[in-house]
Amino acid sequence: MSEQVVPIDVSQPKQRQPLLRRRYALEVRQQMAWYWQALILAAALAVGLAISALILIAAGVPGGELLNEFVIMTVFDAQSLQAVLFQASPMILVGLAGCMAFRARFWNLGLDGQMIWGAIGATAIVLFEVGPPALRLPLMLLTAAVCGALWALTPIVLKLRLQVSEIISTLMLNYLASYFLLHLLYGSWKDPRDSFPYSPPFQSFERLPEFFHGYSAGIPLAVVIAVFALWLIGFSRAGLYLRFVDANPKVADAVGVPLRKTILATVLLSGAMAGIAGFVITSGQEGRLTQSFYQGYGFSGILIAFLARNNPIAALVVALLIATLFVAGRSLQVFYQIPFSMVQLIQAILVICVASSDFFIRHRLRRVQGGES
């Protein structure tokens, strides 16, 4: 880029320049070695975690307990580790959903809504007793995926056809989905036994089984889908097409890449993954449809995709970390009466720090010599 800093106004060298530009010039960096990038990213995460730790201490958690609570209790305790992995499976799925959508340059803020519809679809299979018991689980999974994808259909079609901003449309659809969920749970799907606003409990063959002592089958499911996403993005033809969306849509059109179809399919896939996440929570964790099972996941999915730079394997790792945060957040809630909003705040701080660190990767500050102006 521009190596030389051209003075703006030659005739009036004494004119006051804005503060930030007085002695330094910002330049766009062409590229940066990967280890520097990794170092900056790590520094950003460290800053974010430090700020979060300060907030936690200010909120009343004894400073010495933090390490204990977040690291030792969650990773080295078998029961907590189970909880983390349990929590990780829907987290990985929403993270992958975020990755897919962002690959297609689609701001899918509707992960919540798609999760709700996935869960509703799976629960409908249970309540209407579709199919024999042996086929019940696969059928629930399939329906959840289809329902999630269908809920993503409206915003992507509106975007492709009319250029309606998906940021607003997906969010509005979230509100519609959540009210529809309440309509069902306070209405015809209410548990007839105690009239609480949740569906009747699923039977044992409608619940996700364990694949290993105490570890839910949601984990291998999420990993399989992550590998599929990796293949799709990294090695398939669709993945090649998707790179055009990022690089240059006009050239893609010119050389005959079916860009719109690829974007449509990718976004539907994103919706399907979010739908499956809804299924994993209802069938695996709660065992029934509840009214707030989806809360916090939509944002986490976006965060995971952002932190993982839309890479499915990185998303696995980040999702595991966020799941740890969720589990630790719940125990903070129990032991120190810290509201769960803390988890959202910490996630937001991490995003802000990492997003800010991008600045240092993409720019450099150069001292302008005194003689130049």
Partner 1 sequence: MDLIASWLGNTPDFAVPFALAALGLIITERAGVLSLGAEGLMLVGALAGIGAQLAYGSAELSLLIAMLSASVVSILFAIMVVLLRINQVIAGLSLVFFCQGLTGLLGTLWGWTNRPVSGMSSISLWPLSELPLIGKVFVQNPVVYLTPLIFLAVVWFLTRSGTGLRLRAVGENPQAADSVGIPVLWYRVAAILAGAALIGLAGGYLSVLSTKLWIADMTGGRGWIAIALVIFARWYPWRALMGALLFGCVEALIPQLAAAGIRLPQYFILMTPYAVTLGVMIWVAASKRAGGEQPGALGIPFVREERR
- Cα separation, 69 vs 71, in Å, equals 6
Stretch in the footprint of partner 1 (CB under 8 A) among 114-122, 255-263, 272-280, 349-357: 349-357
**Residue of 93, 252, 302, 332 that binds partner 1 (CB under 8 A):** 302
What the block records as the tokens of 252 is: 């893609």
What the block records as the tokens of 246 is: 């990022």
Task: Spell out the residues 6+ positions from residue 51 whose beta carbon is closer than 8 angstroms to its own.
Answer: 349, 353
Q: In this complex, which beta carbon is closest to partner 1, that of residue 26 or of residue 66?
A: 26
On the CB side of 327, CA atoms within 13 Å amount to: 26
Q: In this complex, which beta carbon is closest to partner 1, that of residue 285 or of residue 344?
A: 344
Stretch in the footprint of partner 1 (CB under 8 A) among 29-37, 159-167, 269-277, 281-289: 159-167
Residue 142 Cβ, how far from partner 1 at the closest point, in Å? Answer: 27
DSSP class of 20:
G
On the CB side of 321, CA atoms within 13 Å amount to: 14
Nearest by Cα to 226 from 89, 112, 83, 84: 89
- Cα separation, 362 vs 72, in Å, equals 36
Residue 223 Cβ, how far from partner 1 at the closest point, in Å? Answer: 27
What the block records as the tokens of 99 is: 């990755």
Residue 290 Cβ, how far from partner 1 at the closest point, in Å? Answer: 16
CB neighbours of residue 13 within 10 Å: 9
- Cα separation, 113 vs 121, in Å, equals 12
CB neighbours of residue 38 within 10 Å: 10
Encoded one letter per residue, x for contact with partner 1 by CB under 8 A and - for no contact, window 39-78 reads: --------------------x-------------------
> Which residue do the tokens 């929590």 mark?
87
**Residue of 127, 349, 361, 368 that binds partner 1 (CB under 8 A):** 349
What's the Cα-to-Cα distance from 286 to each of 156, 196, 275, 281, rounded to whole Å? 31, 14, 15, 6
Tell whether residue 20 is a contact of partner 1 (CB under 8 A): yes
> Which residue do the tokens 């869960």 mark?
119
**Residue of 36, 186, 196, 212 that binds partner 1 (CB under 8 A):** 186
Tell whether residue 168 is a contact of partner 1 (CB under 8 A): yes
Contact status, residue 263 vs residue 106, Cβ threshold 8 Å:
yes
Tell whether residue 336 is a contact of partner 1 (CB under 8 A): no
**Residue of 78, 134, 162, 255 that binds partner 1 (CB under 8 A):** 162
Encoded one letter per residue, x for contact with partner 1 by CB under 8 A and - for no contact, window 282-301 reads: -----------------x--
Tell whether residue 150 is a contact of partner 1 (CB under 8 A): no
Indicate the residue type of 12: Q
Tell whether residue 254 is a contact of partner 1 (CB under 8 A): no
Residues touching partner 1: how many (CB under 8 A)? 58
Terminal-to-terminal C-alpha distance of the chain: 20
Tell whether residue 6 is a contact of partner 1 (CB under 8 A): yes
Give the β-pairing of 24-28 and 363-367: antiparallel
Q: In this complex, which beta carbon is closest to partner 1, that of residue 218 or of residue 298?
A: 298
Tell whether residue 158 is a contact of partner 1 (CB under 8 A): yes
* Residues of the shown chain interacting with partner 1 in the complex, contacts defined by CB under 8 A: 1-2, 5-6, 8-9, 15, 18, 20-21, 25-26, 28, 59, 107, 109, 158, 162-165, 167-169, 171-173, 175-176, 179-180, 182-183, 186-187, 299, 302-303, 306, 338-349, 351-352, 355-356, 358-359, 363
